[in-house]
Amino acid sequence: MTIKEYEQIPIPVVEIFQSISGEGISAGNIVSFVRIAGCNLRCAWCDTKYSFNESGEGVQMMLPADIRKTLSGIGSNEIICTGGEPLEEGKSKRFLPVYLANFFKVRVETSGGSILYSEKELLNFGILRDQISYCMDIKCPGSKMDHKNLYNNIFELKKNDELKFVVINTEDLLFSLEIIEKYKSSLSGSGIALNFSPVFGSVDPDVIVDFLKENTKYFMDNSLWARLSLQLHKIVWPPDMRGV
Ligand code: SF4
């Protein structure tokens, strides 16, 4: 498929807006978000249930060229493609981030339950791997979706990508450590951020800070970049406010 052909395929979009990046290493940057509709997971603590279905209330079918124009009109050069799940396989929406990467700096927030782009998929849209970055979840047991993790995705991550562990209890923290230990050889010295993010309103951030302090030696000895990641947008605005 050519880029021109792709531009004619409607994509289900929940919302497009400018805000601060709320999480991870880009937190605090002014960015534009494209929230793509539809998700094949159902995390117990999901805070964007309104993006579950491609035909849900408020979802608009938009042509990629129009999405690009809307983003250009907003003016940010940094785009976060989020969802829902942007990378669901077998769907046209999967290619919106690589299409947009021709025009903007694109970060993809993905559940970790869909396979990351192959080199061929990137090249089909004229994109090199360095032109796109991922913030990929590893689902912990508290999400009830840990069976959906595609762990081989970890081997595809590079510097400036991020893993995110959303944690709701101690079991989730211990699970995260187990996964990090298992994939340590890929993560060590890689420049991949390991974000620990508490479920808002369920875990006090100081629990994560204590956990990071307790494991500092392990992280340092293994050249692992572990960090607390809070959802800034839920601190700046009411936690359930949309479009921020
Ligand atoms: S992957 Fe994201 S959008 Fe999908 S259910 Fe989980 S938190 Fe919600």
85 lines ligand 1 (CB under 6 A): yes
Over pLDDT 70: what percentage of the chain? 100
Output the pLDDT for position 244.
Answer: 79
- The residue whose C-alpha atom lies closest to atom 6 belonging to ligand 1 is 43
Give me ligand 1 centre to Cα 192, in Å.
22
SS3 34: strand
Please indicate whether residue 111, judged by its CB atom, sits closer than 6 Å to ligand 1: yes
Residue 216 has pLDDT above 90, yes or no: yes
| Architecture of the domain made up of 3-236 | Alpha-Beta Barrel (3.20)
Using the atom order of ligand 1, give the atom closest to the CA of residue 113. Answer: 1
- Pick from 45, 53, 111 the residue to mutate for probing ligand 1's pocket: most ligand atoms within 8 Å of its CB: 111
Over range 183-188, report the average pLDDT: 98
Distance between Cα 194 and ligand 1 center (Å): 19
Which pLDDT belongs to residue 240?
86
Please check the confidence at residue 243 and state whether its pLDDT lies above 90.
no
243 or 68, higher pLDDT: 68
Domain ranges (residues) in the chain: 3-236
Looking at residue 77, its pLDDT comes to 95
Calculate the CA dihedral of residues 118, 121, 126, 128 and round it to 10 degrees.
-10
Question: Mind listing the pLDDT tens digit for each residue in 141-162?
Answer: 999 999 999 999 999 999 999 9
Q: What is the mean pLDDT of residues 151-174?
A: 98
Measured between alpha carbons, how far is residue 15 from residues 50, 96, 99, 102, 168 in Å? 11, 14, 18, 21, 27
Q: How far apart, in whole angstroms, are the C-alpha atoms of residue 109 and residue 83?
A: 8
Distance (Å) from CA 111 to ligand 1 centroid: 7
Q: What is the pLDDT of residue 242?
A: 85
Q: Ligand 1: does its nearest atom lie under 6 Å from the Cβ of 43?
A: yes
Q: What is the pLDDT of residue 137?
A: 98
What pLDDT score does 10 carry?
Answer: 98
Average pLDDT over residues 15-39: 97
- Average pLDDT of the chain, as a whole number: 97
* pTM of the entire predicted model: 0.96
Asked whether the predicted pLDDT for residue 97 surpasses 90, the reply is: yes
Query: Ligand 1: does its nearest atom lie under 6 Å from the Cβ of 38?
Result: no
Could you tell me the two tokens for 39?
Answer: 């998700």
Calculate how far, in angstroms, residue 48's C-alpha sits from the geometric centre of ligand 1: 7
- List the beta strands (DSSP E) in the chain: 11-20, 30-36, 60-62, 78-82, 105-110, 132-137, 162-167, 193-198, 225-228
Q: What is the pLDDT of residue 104?
A: 98
Tens-place pLDDT, residues 59-84: 999 999 999 999 999 999 999 999 99
Distance between Cα 198 and ligand 1 center (Å): 15
